[in-house]
A and B are shown apart, each in its own frame.
Chain A
Amino acid sequence: MIEVKNICKKFTSDSGEVIALDNVSLKVNKGEFASIIGKSGSGKSTLLSILGALDTPTSGSIEVDGVDIAKLSASQQTAYRAKKIGFVFQYYNLIPNLTVLENVMLALEFGGTPAKERKGRAEQLLEEVGIEPSQQSRKPAKLSGGQQQRVAIARALANKPAFVLADEPTGNLDSETGKKIFELLHRLTRTENTTILAVTHDMDIAGRTDRTFRLKDGKIVTA
């Protein structure tokens, strides 16, 4: 379970103090597929980075399975990201000079999987998301956008995270492929009981998730 309580994030810029997140609270249960929608500048990215332990809030707490990730040190955050959070990005963000298989193995390495077990686990994960063994030794650039996003999902799920944070997972894909990726994510929440939080501007996708949060000027307007 993810429970966000009263988080605020303030930045100091040349034009004065900017409030990016204003007293945001939300709650997502285990195995739920939730979406966050909002216009650009609404604070989506800031919320995402705080949820992803990439940044710390000015105030408030984020409890994930009883741990307040807002209070972690930088190195604890790194370890937390490696083990408890899976990221899926709009532009896939695979490491270009590593093969598909090596990309998944990299996440397993950071998550602390013993070296001998990495290859087997990575192959299994890739198969689950629909990447054929013949494609696993290719570089990401040789795959289509949809396939790359599947690899990114396999990488995100590698360490059985507490939740998967997806930043516009279908944003860079055509609607047909986007639908398939959405279905894949949806299926995983069911089969693997994975909690997924997806930031999107696709209302069609948002409408089909278990829960939708709308952000406006740093505040949750619909829950």
Chain B
Amino acid sequence: MNVVTRGIKNALRSPLRSGAIILMLAISIGLILSMLVARSSVDEKISEVKASSGTGITITPAGVRGFSGGGNALTSTELATVTNTAHITSTSVSLEDQLGTSDTNLTASLEMGNFGQRQMRFETESASSSASSTTINGATTTDSTATTPPAMVARITVTGTTDTSSISADGSDLNITSGESFDNTSSDLVAIVGTDLADKNSLAVGDTFTAYSSTVKVIGIFDTGNAFTDSGIIMPLVTVQTLTDQTDAISSIVATVDSSDNVSSTVTALKTALSTTADITSEVEQAEASVSSLASISSLALAGVIGATVAGAIIILLAMIIIVRERRHEIGVIKAIGGSNFKVVTQFVTEAMTLTAIGSVIGLVLGVLVCGPLTSSLVSSQSSSTNQSTKIGGGPSNTSSSTSSTENGAPEMIRQGFDKIGQNFAQVTGTLTPTVFIASIGITFLIAIVGSAIPVWFIARIRPAEVLRTE
């Protein structure tokens, strides 16, 4: 039996007290782990936000927003300016137009509603005034037109684009439910049609429709879940430019910048270059705001790591001080019969290390249980909503989860518990990078070393003559 085994043996000398120390240590180590995991997933989220939402710049013709306002469309000259601006890695170009009833044989799938009607009121007025002027000037046959102004019908939005994924709300690939998409550089008379518009007009892949007096073939149906987008038509950019006699016209350019750090400077550069011809908007301010709030969560998590480390160190420190004080006499005996300071210190450091090691194993398990929910509540509301929907979908029909667990009894609850642990573990291992793992191990050892430092000093000061002290 050597000094190390004595230290390990001593760690478990008083099971109740060792258990309490280990439990407290485990809680702080669990906290350290969960805070580290939370921090790393927040950091991951920050870089994700920086990489995606922050890097898009939208360039539209000056004075135009959607179909409102007025001005000249952008051209390939402006596009070239944008493409040649530093830090811009890619661009997607689109031209939007609207199909009125005279332009197409399709029926719009959107209802006008009170909002739509209000937006259309000027055009109805002009139509009725032109009708009444016709009445004044001549033939009575126009009377019928005058008394019944044309019914207000929503228009169908046509988007010509070089990148269909720019249409989907989240920038992912457009969800084509049947058929296929077109080649982005195509100039064919082909279109992919929103699912709402296709339903309204009973269009299927292979059908044709008329637009701008040309026959266009439907090659795909898409579904974005967005009512406005799903009531529209998407065609290749060149096709729309040709059909609408707007060769070279562009209504919107979305440029992607290489890094969110360069967005501000690129926006400034573009504003200078296109000051009179284009309006430039970016998500840079919004992205900065969201990143800054995430960054504060990240530093909060770091504070948590430090706090839990300090707490852990204090726990082991106090425990070791108590242990050393309590075994003062025993240390005196060991020194009196020839035990060196080094041997006694090694024995007690081993004891502290053993307590910390057991505490960290339990703490890591606790951390895995805790940090899944913690991380998702800190970072993404998305994962929790997914969990809920899974529960609703997967659970027995119309029974709440509490009812189902009482019905199925304890084994079911245990099974659900294990499922939950499994889920947590999957979530944690997703963010439990080697760095985080090494950091937790390192911090744990730091705790043990700091926690033993002062007791070691105490041990060194205990005089062997202590042994002669009257009991």
Contacts and interface: CB of A to CB of B under 8 A. Distances in A.
Q: Which 4 A-B pairs have the closest CB atoms?
A: A82-B338, A110-B338, A54-B465, A93-B333
A97 to B, nearest CB: 5
Chain A CB within 10 Å, residue with most, of B10, B339, B468: B468
A10 to B, nearest CB: 16
A115 interface: yes
Interface size range on A against B: 20 to 34
B6 A98 contact: yes
Given A54-B464, A83-B338, A109-B2, A95 B13 contact: no
A45 B467 CA distance: 11
Contacts of A78: 335, 338-341, 464
Contact of B337 (A45, A79, A87): A87
Interface string A83-115: 100010101010111100010011101110001
What's the dominant secondary structure at chain A's contact region?
A: helix
B420 interface: no
B338 A95 contact: no
B334 A105 contact: no
A132 B383 CA distance: 68
A107 B343 CA distance: 13
A95 B463 contact: no
10 contacts: A49-B465, A54-B468, A78-B464, A87-B337, A89-B468, A95-B334, A98-B1, A105-B1, A106-B1, A115-B2
B1 A102 contact: yes
Given A83-B338, A111-B338, A55 B333 contact: no
B471 interface: yes
A79 B338 contact: yes
A163 to B, nearest CB: 14
Contacts of B174: none
B311 interface: no
Interface in B334-354: 334-341, 343
B330 interface: yes
A167 interface: yes
A135 B338 CA distance: 25
B391 interface: no
B465 A55 contact: yes
A155 interface: yes
Given A95-B330, A107-B337, 10 more contacts: A54-B468, A78-B339, A81-B335, A81-B336, A93-B467, A96-B330, A97-B13, A98-B1, A106-B339, A109-B2
Interface in A148-171: 155, 159, 167
Contacts of A91: 471
Nearest to A109: B2
Interface of B: 1-2, 6, 9-10, 13, 329-330, 333-341, 343, 463-465, 467-468, 471
Nearest to A97: B13
B471 A110 contact: no
A89 B338 contact: no
Given A95-B330, A95-B333, A97-B13, A107 B468 contact: no
Nearest to A94: B333
Nearest to B9: A97
B6 A45 contact: no
Given A97-B13, A98-B6, A110 B337 contact: yes
A146 B468 CA distance: 20
Nearest to A90: B471
A55 B469 CA distance: 13
A25 B333 CA distance: 27
A87 B10 contact: no
Nearest to B466: A54
Contacts of A96: 330
B338 A45 contact: no
A48 B468 contact: yes
Given A87-B467, A102-B1, A81 B337 contact: yes
Contacts of A218: none
Nearest to A96: B330
B248 to A, nearest CB: 90
B357 to A, nearest CB: 19
A164 B467 CA distance: 15
A38 interface: no
A75 interface: yes
A97 B10 contact: yes
B251 to A, nearest CB: 84
A82 B464 contact: no
Contacts of A87: 336-337, 467
Contacts of B333: 89, 93, 95
A95 B467 CA distance: 12
A91 B470 CA distance: 9
Contacts of B337: 81-82, 87, 106-107, 110, 155
A43 interface: no
A115 B465 CA distance: 28
Contacts of B335: 78, 81
Nearest to A75: B340
Contacts of B465: 49, 54-55
A49 B468 contact: yes
Contact of A54 (B2, B13, B340, B463): B463
Contacts of A106: 1, 334, 337, 339
Given A75-B340, A102-B1, A81 B468 contact: no
Nearest to A167: B468
A75 B417 CA distance: 58
A91 B466 CA distance: 13
Given A81-B464, A97-B9, A97-B13, A52 B2 contact: no
